[in-house]
Structure 1
């Protein structure tokens, strides 16, 4: 058998990153060695995303690029795009196999088969680090911890339920064990993530119960929650944020549209009123808190007035970040059947641009709120002589202060505000 070396490239959401870490760990246990570049690999994995048409196109483009970097390696696509585009991906000459989803046992079996099929390639001959248990080989200071997968909400634009299946939650004790493992490895921040976090249910436990247990039963310095449906902003969860310390005061709460009519067509189960109430309650209850969000431009049937209502929401709240997605019909979804209501592509692009500009303005207002404030920053990387990292409330901070090192958590005073950063002079 050819050398058991693999390269792994991850696309998409935080849950995909969690899946990739588990796949890499399980592969190392099975005797595989991860390498840093495709040319050194026997097998190249692309863990894919299918949230938009652009995501599917990026998956195909990445697979081709990886194959060009090492035509002797077997390229295997996994993840969400492989779950809904399996046959199309397998028909591509650059792709050796497509394994739907993130089941590491199935993926490793495909890797083993690809290694057996390797023919006279020099792939995988470069030296690499020995495989082992979890290490921070990527030097990441923040690690995603998946506690939930799958979704049964069936938003009209989304293929995630088709790709990831119905909801299931990870037992609380397993979550605690994972966080303790990361803490022992030197990780400073864990990000609690899932496809539909608000729907976490296991043995009677809710999301608030799991977060409370992580706070009480581990010593990890910083805990963050990401991408939470507005209905998940419960009194129990808010109470945890009000305790000083390790739960970071930032939430990403998806909006998608500022128009209740559009939200109804999207099959969203959150109105603009519920969204606004959740965001305001969080911002009012938690000192120094920030909120980020997602919006979609040009959903079928969206009128000029609908689009204006979304812009109005963005103008009224100081969002730390606004992610803007142009609508693209996803096969198998309800929205794909709304062809008669499709907004022209040029108009979608115009509305997307307006939302991006409104999002930038909202982020500038958010940063301005913290000019002169003292923030706790986890420094992660160095660029051009300055260290960069994220504050507890998810503001990107840049500092040229002496003595900072990778993975440091420091209290700093923000001296000014610029386009992307809150600088510390």
Structure 2
């Protein structure tokens, strides 16, 4: 009887091992599901697909258009998406409870781009405040408040990059954030909402700043690269379990996306990229608007002419400087949550950055592709428009200065 029981245990153990092995193999053969929001900076994921780079590196990828950043967050956390084109600060917003359930983990595998967002103001402000005329913003907003009792600005996700650029812009311009209403609108819906008067201004990625200009409903008051040249923007963010159990596939995805970033930084390729991502399955916006701002040629609207960004337009590679996920940038984002009242107390900055950024994995991928890995992480830096120095090793000192 004991022999039978022992034999049964052995058989059951073998069955369990076989099922586990089969499940793992099946998972490895499943296509990788990547989401994107209709924005110009989804280009690395879209072009990796269109150029056949995922196939080149031996991984099957399905890309899906998503409706909002909250939708992206939920699908990454549940595993419905393995990863996505994502606001780089979203994982920190979610983990700290600003933009999701505290403690929820989303992992940053690599960065996708810098620059290329904008503050767009309604045509109602045309002639009252011009491009980079920061000293005129507060008086215009104050006059609007006095006349109509409410001024509304929109961003795309609490604690996301657009939220942070908007709030930094308001702080620099001297606009009281407590007397202004700040709402959340998905990127593709910004133009339509401004058209019907739901907001006075918004911060979002291209092409929706350029589209507002083309349609004559708004104008560019400042580009995000004017606030912080070469600021971090979007990242490849992945599901925690996917990063752990399908590491080989993640590496292949990262290699394909990195090669797409290199391809996109060749100006000769940007016209082709604009034509592809502008199509309905992707961004669904005029290719000429996408192309112009991809090339750094900004029609500002409101009869302000054209602003040309020669070296600080939307970049996807820049010799490897773009794609390295820096922990210092994570700490800066979380310091903004404290600065602007999202968090009452400082989080454990470094521990959270260490937990959510797959820096070692990126370094492995970059070295395998002979891409330079920058050595500037955790060094002090300052924003272009706000000269206050941020030392990632001492966020509290920075907060004492900016909260005065």
TM-score by length of 1: 0.26
More strand by share: 1
More helix by share: 2
The answer to which structure, 1 or 2, has the higher relative contact order (CA under 8 A, 6+ apart) is: 2
TM-score by length of 2: 0.27
